[in-house]
A and B are shown apart, each in its own frame.
Chain A
Amino acid sequence: MKLIFEYEQQPTEHVEQIQTQLDLPSELIRDSLPLPNVNEIDIVRHYTNLSKKNFGIDNNLYPLGSCTMKYNPKVSEELARLKGFASIHPRSPVEYSQGSLEVIWELQEALKEITGMDDVSIQPAAGSQCELLGIMIAKRHFENKNEKRTKVIIPDSSHGTNPASVAMCKLETITVCSDSRGNMDFNEVKKKISPDVALVMVTNPNTLGLYEENLLEIKDLAHQNGTLMYCDGANMNALLGISKPKEQGFDMMHLNLHKTFATPHGGGGPGAGALAVRAFLSDYLLVPRITKEDGKFQLDYKKEKSVGKVHSFYGNFGILVRALCYIRIWGNQIRHVSENAVLNANYLFAKIRDSYHVPYDRRCAHEFVVSAKNIPNGGTIDIAKRILDYGFHPPTVYFPLIVEEALMIEPTETESKETLDKYAQVLVNIAKELREKPEIVKDAPHTEPSRLDEVKAARQPNLRWSPQ
């Protein structure tokens, strides 16, 4: 398909034309503006045709592990677009933006109940910004206690964001291996914990889709050492109404609201994050805080211990509206979300486990990891590409890094048994195809384009269109 820059037409007029002289010297103004002019009909066709070359949850099952690709209710889209929400300027006086503040307040209250935590900030734009914030809070907490702690313990199964966030805060990551059951190895934690460890960051259930069986012992060890426990809540879709992370011993946790609470992932974003903390860390949360007095909401910037601010305004408000929608839809029955997410994952796992290698033979949570290492004639990449031929999206592949030829599968609660049956059949078929007629898998996908040259893309970067 051609690029939008290759059109040159009479454009459609959307705003008033104006003839005005600019009172600006020539050194401050540009000589030319090399953008295209395109009439609206070809804008609509260009992007409609592009959309047809894209695959979303609305097309079919999209079981990317750790990404929680569940159905995104259409009503939430409509509600986030209500004029009162979509058209309100963030600099509107608080007395005229009470509706927005109430949405944020109600969401915060719900998240406190869901996590068990005492306070929460919804300003971060995504999970990774929550991690950064959590580590900053830990740093500040220990500075205030005159303790110098420079290390963070992270399991080898963690998301890459965890060590990357640690590095951004100039702390050191101490990696702990997983044991034979896929848990964080307790003996190794015991060996590596020391007075300079600030945090233990744990994903629970972990990226293998397994509940951390040593969590309570690790928590005790950490707390005896004065170390804080941080939960990467990317996998909260397994725990809603079932178990509260505060009761699991965490001092802080983040939620990826776009994952757990069904806001559309937008082809990569926007998301929204929430960082929930225990009371003793509350003063460090971001400003402004929303307060409620006599039924009126206010913004409070006067928090001396706060680590500051991470967003231009108050957070990704439009996403917060959608997240609150999902929470209100389920209300006090929200446990069904996680129960069915776990049911669906265990069902799909049961249907395919005989065709793949199972690295950790345990009942899974909301997702599971299998390996293609025992299948002859091809690897995970071939399986992923072949899944596309069958009209489905592949799972997350080659992650977590500790499983060779990994396929990480998270079906979510919104998929029907029929869809799961079809997906299972596809996975079983492909394993069989690799044994019997591997070419068909190695050549997949039989679509255009197929197997793009990533090495060429990186070695000879072509990252933009330029005018002739």
Chain B
Amino acid sequence: MNYIPHTKEDVTLMLNEIGASSIDELIENFKPCLTSPLKLPEPMNEMQLVSYFSELAGKNKIFKYFVGAGAYDHYSPAVVDHLIKRGEFMTAYTPYQPEASQGMLQAMYEFQSFICLLTGMDVSNASLYDGASALAEAVLLSSSYTKKRHVFVDNGLNPSYYEVLKTYCNGSDLEFTNTIDENTCCVISQNPDFYGNIKDQRPLVEKAHHNKALFITCINEPTSLALLKPPGEYGSDIVVGEGQSFGIPLSFGGPYLGFLAVKNFLLKKIPGRIVGMTEDKNGKKGFVLTLQAREQFIRRERATSNITTNQALLALAATIYLATVGRKGLVDVAKNSYYKAHLLYEKLGKIGFKGLNEKYFYNEFCVKTPKAASKIFSQLLEQKIVGGLVVDDDKIIVCCTEKNSTADINAYLEALK
């Protein structure tokens, strides 16, 4: 299989034009030059390729998921994937030439608007890699804005996010502390948190602001925003999170969609691409990448971040998802997820599981298991159910979405009998 269109004759004509006798002559100064072919398998044609990858995909087993913990099995309407596959979107790159990129630019402007509407913030960028690195970028932003170096993390942050944050903070010489004081650059709180708790953030926001620290809300499950108070309304300065729930396949953890939104006063500090509406030379409305003086290709070592490639196509997927389900559908998704989780929670309560959530939860909850959590997990696996995330010998975090039917919930309970 071969994606090079040249005939032998073409190659001869091209070499003549260049003034070279062979392709080897063009590469002779690439040193040290390999003398034998790479030790890779024989090339595959398309049919062989399909069979090779189908076999690999078949080695993965897709079960019923009652697990979230940063990735959520929501339904994605068919139009989402159908539309993002259009080559004009999919095979473009960063819209450096706005005249040839109005489609993607407008879609990114719509994405930024959706994120602002959901989070209650003023400004959003056009995506970052994923939720964890978006959080890390938010912390770097906080440190740069406040000129302080201490980071406070509230209980209940997704441990994987914490690991990523630690990596970035070590790299940037920032420190974690257990108290909030005048040296704190930011206070991070996940809502709903890793255990599913919906928190009243106001006391913590007040404490952060009292110490001139920025308050960062981190969101793992953004469908919760259809129901919950937008973080912008309870005083968050930065909202970051993972947008995978919005129509993006689970795909073994990536590619997903990081988002980052801020209040106006942080506009000039935001990392990544931002799209703005403007006019052309004839006064016609149009869109461009803007505020680029923040970015690495202009500012180099003084840039707000090193990010270049982002997750544009997935931001497009999320935009189409949100437009497609709309106001009404997103509330249905959220209420279904909420309802199913509460139904399962109630029923587990009747067979010896003890709820560990503080007060309110959305679509994830943590329970103490009546016997070893690993045992429960295996019992469920036998019935092709991934029953949650085991977080301790006797604790499991369980998740539901609109995809978990009442029949699935009954099967879950049945498996534990």
Using known A-B contacts A55-B92, A96-B63, A463-B109, determine if residue A128 contacts B325 with beta carbons closer than 8 Å: no
B98 close to chain A: CB less than 8 A: yes
Chain A, range 72-114, C-beta contacts under 8 Å to B? 72-73, 75, 77-93, 96-100, 102-103, 110, 113-114
Q: How far is the CA of A420 from the CA of B198 in the complex (A)?
A: 58
Using known A-B contacts A267-B90, A339-B23, A452-B279, determine if residue A243 contacts B31 with beta carbons closer than 8 Å: yes
B251 close to chain A: CB less than 8 A: yes
B65 close to chain A: CB less than 8 A: yes
Looking at the assembled complex, report how far the CB atom of A153 sits from the nearest CB atom of chain B, in whole angstroms.
13
User: What residues on A are CB-neighbors of B389 within 8 Å?
Assistant: 91
- Give 6 A-B pairs besides A268-B312, A328-B52, A332-B37 with Cβ atoms closer than 8 angstroms: A56-B88, A113-B39, A340-B6, A384-B97, A414-B5, A452-B280
Chain A, range 52-80, C-beta contacts under 8 Å to B? 52-59, 62, 64, 67, 69-73, 75, 77-80
Q: Are A170 and B173 in contact (CB under 8 A)?
A: yes
Query: Which of A28, A129, A317 meets B229, CB within 8 Å?
Result: A28
Q: Are A267 and B30 in contact (CB under 8 A)?
A: no
Q: CB-CB contacts of B64-103 with A at 8 A, as 1s and 0s?
A: 0101011101010101011101111111111111111111
User: What residues on B are CB-neighbors of A43 within 8 Å?
Assistant: 79, 83, 320, 323-324
User: What residues on A are CB-neighbors of B97 within 8 Å?
Assistant: 55, 384-385, 388, 393-394
A221 close to chain B: CB less than 8 A: no
B194 close to chain A: CB less than 8 A: no
User: What residues on A are CB-neighbors of B245 within 8 Å?
Assistant: none
Looking at the assembled complex, report how far the CB atom of B279 sits from the nearest CB atom of chain A, in whole angstroms.
5
Measured CB to CB, the nearest residue on chain B to A57 is B91
User: What residues on A are CB-neighbors of B94 within 8 Å?
Assistant: 265, 267-268
Q: Are B89 and A54 in contact (CB under 8 A)?
A: yes
B278 close to chain A: CB less than 8 A: yes
Which among A50, A100, A113, A325 has the highest number of chain B CB atoms within 10 Å?
A50
Chain B, range 273-302, C-beta contacts under 8 Å to A? 273-282, 284-288, 290-293, 295-302
Q: Are A18 and B335 in contact (CB under 8 A)?
A: yes
A454 close to chain B: CB less than 8 A: yes
A182 close to chain B: CB less than 8 A: no
Q: Are A239 and B30 in contact (CB under 8 A)?
A: yes
Query: Which of A13, A71, A449 meets B284, CB within 8 Å?
Result: A449
Looking at the assembled complex, report how far the CB atom of A5 sits from the nearest CB atom of chain B, in whole angstroms.
7
Chain A, range 309-341, C-beta contacts under 8 Å to B? 309-319, 321, 325, 327-340
B226 close to chain A: CB less than 8 A: yes
Query: Which of A51, A272, A343 meets B83, CB within 8 Å?
Result: A51
Measured CB to CB, the nearest residue on chain A to B242 is A312
Q: How far is the CA of A49 from the CA of B103 in the complex (A)?
A: 8
A211 close to chain B: CB less than 8 A: yes
A167 close to chain B: CB less than 8 A: yes
Which among A77, A102, A312 has the highest number of chain B CB atoms within 10 Å?
A312
Measured CB to CB, the nearest residue on chain B to A16 is B336
Chain B: interface residue total (CB-CB under 8 A): 194
Q: How far is the CA of A425 from the CA of B255 in the complex (A)?
A: 39
B303 close to chain A: CB less than 8 A: yes
Using known A-B contacts A311-B164, A315-B253, A463-B112, determine if residue A36 contacts B326 with beta carbons closer than 8 Å: yes
Q: Are A44 and B61 in contact (CB under 8 A)?
A: no
Rank and list the top 9 A-B pairs by shortest CB-CB distance, nearest first: A313-B253, A58-B87, A266-B313, A84-B57, A268-B312, A90-B253, A308-B167, A54-B103, A99-B59
User: What residues on A are CB-neighbors of B252 within 8 Å?
Assistant: 85, 88-90, 92, 97, 100, 313-314, 317-318
User: What residues on B are CB-neighbors of A339 within 8 Å?
Assistant: 23, 26-27
Q: How far is the CA of A395 from the CA of B181 in the complex (A)?
A: 51
Q: CB-CB contacts of A383-396 with B at 8 A, as 1s and 0s?
A: 01100100001101
Q: CB-CB contacts of B136-174 with A at 8 A, as 1s and 0s?
A: 000010000000000000000010110110111011110
Q: Are B38 and A30 in contact (CB under 8 A)?
A: no
B106 close to chain A: CB less than 8 A: yes
Using known A-B contacts A44-B79, A168-B171, A311-B133, determine if residue A449 contacts B227 with beta carbons closer than 8 Å: no
Using known A-B contacts A47-B107, A464-B113, determine if residue A351 contacts B314 with beta carbons closer than 8 Å: no
Q: Are A38 and B30 in contact (CB under 8 A)?
A: no
Q: How far is the CA of A177 from the CA of B251 in the complex (A)?
A: 44
Q: How far is the CA of A311 from the CA of B33 in the complex (A)?
A: 35
Chain A, range 1-24, C-beta contacts under 8 Å to B? 1, 3-5, 11-18, 20, 22-24
User: Would you list 15 pairs from A and B whose C-beta atoms are within 8 A, ordered by A residue?
Assistant: A11-B329, A30-B229, A30-B233, A43-B83, A51-B88, A85-B252, A113-B38, A242-B27, A268-B313, A314-B254, A325-B53, A328-B49, A449-B285, A449-B286, A465-B113
Query: Which of A46, A71, A287, A342 meets B23, CB within 8 Å?
Result: A342
Measured CB to CB, the nearest residue on chain A to B100 is A55
Using known A-B contacts A415-B5, A416-B6, determine if residue A132 contacts B33 with beta carbons closer than 8 Å: no
Query: Which of B29, B62, B83, B325 meets A83, CB within 8 Å?
Result: B62
Using known A-B contacts A16-B336, A164-B299, A329-B49, determine if residue A267 contacts B93 with beta carbons closer than 8 Å: yes
Q: Are B130 and A311 in contact (CB under 8 A)?
A: yes
Using known A-B contacts A48-B86, A160-B303, A244-B34, determine if residue A27 contacts B309 with beta carbons closer than 8 Å: no
Measured CB to CB, the nearest residue on chain B to A46 is B323
Using known A-B contacts A23-B360, A169-B171, A451-B280, determine if residue A30 contacts B275 with beta carbons closer than 8 Å: no
Which among B118, B131, B305 has the highest number of chain A CB atoms within 10 Å?
B305
Query: Which of B15, B123, B284 meets A463, CB within 8 Å?
Result: B123
Q: Are A363 and B29 in contact (CB under 8 A)?
A: yes
Using known A-B contacts A17-B332, A29-B227, determine if residue A272 contacts B255 with beta carbons closer than 8 Å: yes
User: What residues on B are CB-neighbors of A303 within 8 Å?
Assistant: none
B110 close to chain A: CB less than 8 A: yes
User: What residues on A are CB-neighbors of B60 within 8 Å?
Assistant: 84-85, 88, 92, 96-100
Q: Are B6 and A417 in contact (CB under 8 A)?
A: yes
Q: How far is the CA of A173 from the CA of B71 in the complex (A)?
A: 38
B330 close to chain A: CB less than 8 A: yes
User: What residues on A are CB-neighbors of B228 within 8 Å?
Assistant: 24, 28-30
User: What residues on A are CB-neighbors of B46 within 8 Å?
Assistant: 75
Q: Are B90 and A264 in contact (CB under 8 A)?
A: yes
Query: Which of A332, A456, A457 meets B42, CB within 8 Å?
Result: A332
User: What residues on B are CB-neighbors of A56 within 8 Å?
Assistant: 87-92
Chain B, range 307-336, C-beta contacts under 8 Å to A? 307-314, 316, 319-320, 322-333, 335-336
Q: How far is the CA of A448 from the CA of B99 in the complex (A)?
A: 7
Chain B, range 17-65, C-beta contacts under 8 Å to A? 17-20, 23, 26-27, 29-34, 37-44, 46, 49-50, 52-54, 56-63, 65
Measured CB to CB, the nearest residue on chain B to A399 is B297
Looking at the assembled complex, report how far the CB atom of B81 sits from the nearest CB atom of chain A, in whole angstroms.
8
Q: Are B332 and A40 in contact (CB under 8 A)?
A: no
Q: How far is the CA of A461 from the CA of B11 in the complex (A)?
A: 50
B13 close to chain A: CB less than 8 A: yes
User: What residues on A are CB-neighbors of B281 within 8 Å?
Assistant: 450-451, 453
Q: Are A307 and B167 in contact (CB under 8 A)?
A: yes
Q: Are B53 and A452 in contact (CB under 8 A)?
A: no
Using known A-B contacts A243-B33, A454-B288, A457-B278, determine if residue A91 contacts B93 with beta carbons closer than 8 Å: no
Query: Which of B62, B286, B297 meets A87, CB within 8 Å?
Result: B62
User: What residues on A are CB-neighbors of B1 within 8 Å?
Assistant: 329
Q: Are A52 and B306 in contact (CB under 8 A)?
A: no
User: What residues on B are CB-neighbors of A445 within 8 Å?
Assistant: 99
Query: Which of A47, A463, A465 meets B276, CB within 8 Å?
Result: A463
Q: Are B229 and A29 in contact (CB under 8 A)?
A: yes
Measured CB to CB, the nearest residue on chain A to B270 is A463
Measured CB to CB, the nearest residue on chain B to A297 is B59
Measured CB to CB, the nearest residue on chain B to A137 is B171
A276 close to chain B: CB less than 8 A: no
Measured CB to CB, the nearest residue on chain A to B31 is A243
